[in-house]
């Protein structure tokens, strides 16, 4: 039989105060821990939720109520309803016109596209006589055309538009005697007045001839010395000749066309005293017949847009050279 051993050592006596001491200690720690948790939550902010370090939350001042605004506070003069008021400023939306720039700035050119495509519909009006100084002549004519029906008046408008654009690009102020904006005319005396009233530095009347087949080439018509009635070209004969000579040289170079073989002795110049547009002019003025519409070879040139652009360049170079002298 096994021997049972008993521990005979005395057992420690448990104080009756031990449990109470533990209870007191725990009770004392709970409020402290709770206060610490509240402090931690107060300073941690969003950092706790997003896993970042604690961040200080900005202090928010208590809202201060704003006193209601008096309607008088909106009045000028610090709320004084009797203070004078100024009308609101109106923005200036106007723009000053831009002055032309370029080598021909300040120069005035008048271009006169010969005839009018609708003259043929107003024969009674264009057949009325007007005074050209030394005599009377018809207000205007229908002009000529190619054998295929391309009108001189269509040609002259096309070349004039091209010429206008080239001169404007150089800074010139350009006026047209008409721009397909009237049923007929203008009459030859009115065409002259338009150039005179504009105080033009140069006037060019654009035409094409209607001579016999085989007559080829271009020519420039200059004013003769005319003095009588309402005509006096004495002041413009010299400068008009210079303008015409410059146009002849530049037109031949740009187009490759030769001066007329049927008048002018190969000079490309013709002087006339029977044209009202020249007789009544008081400013330098010439006409150009760019070619003969009744000749098939010249007609092939006149109806070609590329050639018409060359013609415009030749005319622009001649006018520009005259104005820059």
Domain boundaries in the chain?
108-324
Angle (CA) 126 127 130, round 5°: 85
Whether the predicted pLDDT of 58 surpasses 60: no
Please state, in angstroms and as integers, the Cα–Cα distance from residue 124 to each residue in 128, 131, 135, 188, following that order: 7, 17, 20, 15
289 is annotated as an active-site residue: yes
How buried is residue 282: exposed, middle or buried, by Cβ count under 10 Å (0-12/13-18/19+)? middle
Q: How high is the pLDDT of residue 249?
A: 98
pTM, whole model, 2 decimals? 0.71
Average pLDDT, the chain: 81
Residue 55 contacts by C-beta under 8 Å, 6 or more apart in sequence? 44, 45, 46, 47
Of 152, 170, 254, 289, catalytic: 289
Mean pLDDT of 211-227: 98
Q: Can you spell out the DSSP letters for 218-235?
A: BEEEEE---EETTEE-TT
Residue scoring higher pLDDT (325 or 145): 145
Whether the predicted pLDDT of 75 surpasses 50: no
Rounded Cα–Cα distance for residues 44 and 144 (Å): 101
Residue 151, φ and ψ in degrees, nearest 5: -75, 145
Q: How high is the pLDDT of residue 88?
A: 54
- pLDDT single digits (tens) 108-145: 999 999 999 999 999 999 999 999 999 999 999 999 99
Q: How high is the pLDDT of residue 273?
A: 96
Q: How high is the pLDDT of residue 325?
A: 86
Mean pLDDT of 6-25: 39
Q: Can you spell out the DSSP letters for 263-276?
A: SGGGSSEEEES--H
Q: How high is the pLDDT of residue 294?
A: 98
**What is the percent of the chain where pLDDT is above 70?**
70
Whether the predicted pLDDT of 256 surpasses 70: yes
- DSSP 8-state assignment for residue 175: E
Q: With bands split at pLDDT 50, 70 and 90, how would you rate the model's confidence at 97?
A: low
Minimal CA–CA distance to 281: which of 167, 209, 181, 198?
198
Whether the predicted pLDDT of 81 surpasses 90: no
Mean pLDDT of 19-40: 38
Q: How high is the pLDDT of residue 129?
A: 97
Whether the predicted pLDDT of 318 surpasses 70: yes
Give the 3-state secondary structure of residue 119: helix
Rounded Cα–Cα distance for residues 34 and 48 (Å): 18
- pLDDT single digits (tens) 273-315: 999 999 999 999 999 999 999 999 999 999 999 999 999 999 9
Whether the predicted pLDDT of 232 surpasses 60: yes
Write the class of the CATH domain 108-324. alpha beta
Residue scoring higher pLDDT (100 or 108): 108
CB 129 within 8 A of CB 222: no
CA atoms within 13 A on the CB side of 198: 27
């Amino acid at each position: 039989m096994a021997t049972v051993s008993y521990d005979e050592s005395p057992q420690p006596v448990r104080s009756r105060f031990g449990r109470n001491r533990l209870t007191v200690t725990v009770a004392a720690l709970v409020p402290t821990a709770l206060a610490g948790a509240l402090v931690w939550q107060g300073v941690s902010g969003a950092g706790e939720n997003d896993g970042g370090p604690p961040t200080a939350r900005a202090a928010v001042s208590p809202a201060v109520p704003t006193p209601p605004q008096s309607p008088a506070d909106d009045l000028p003069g610090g709320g004084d309803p009797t203070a004078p008021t100024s009308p609101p400023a109106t923005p200036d939306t106007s723009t000053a016109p831009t002055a032309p720039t370029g080598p021909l700035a300040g120069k005035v050119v008048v271009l006169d596209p010969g005839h009018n495509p609708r003259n043929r519909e107003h024969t009674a009006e264009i057949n009325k006589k007007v005074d050209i100084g030394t005599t009377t002549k018809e207000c205007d004519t229908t002009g000529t055309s190619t054998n295929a029906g391309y009108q001189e008046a269509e040609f002259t408008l096309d070349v004039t538009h091209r010429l206008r654009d080239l001169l404007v690009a150089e800074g010139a102020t350009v006026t047209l005697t008409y721009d397909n904006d009237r049923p007929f005319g203008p009459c030859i005396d009115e065409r002259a007045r338009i150039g005179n009233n504009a105080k033009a530095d140069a006037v060019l009347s654009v035409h094409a001839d209607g001579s016999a087949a085989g007559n080829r080439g271009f020519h420039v018509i200059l004013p003769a010395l005319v003095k009588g009635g309402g005509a006096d070209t004495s002041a413009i004969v010299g400068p008009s000749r210079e303008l015409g000579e410059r146009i002849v040289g530049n037109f031949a170079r740009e187009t490759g066309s030769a001066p007329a073989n049927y008048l002018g002795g190969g000079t490309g110049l013709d002087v006339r005293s029977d044209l009202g547009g020249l007789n009544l002019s008081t400013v330098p003025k010439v006409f150009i017949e760019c070619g003969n519409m009744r000749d098939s070879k010249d007609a092939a040139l006149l109806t070609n847009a590329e050639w018409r652009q060359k013609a415009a360049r030749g005319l622009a170079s001649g006018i520009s050279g005259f104005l820059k002298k």
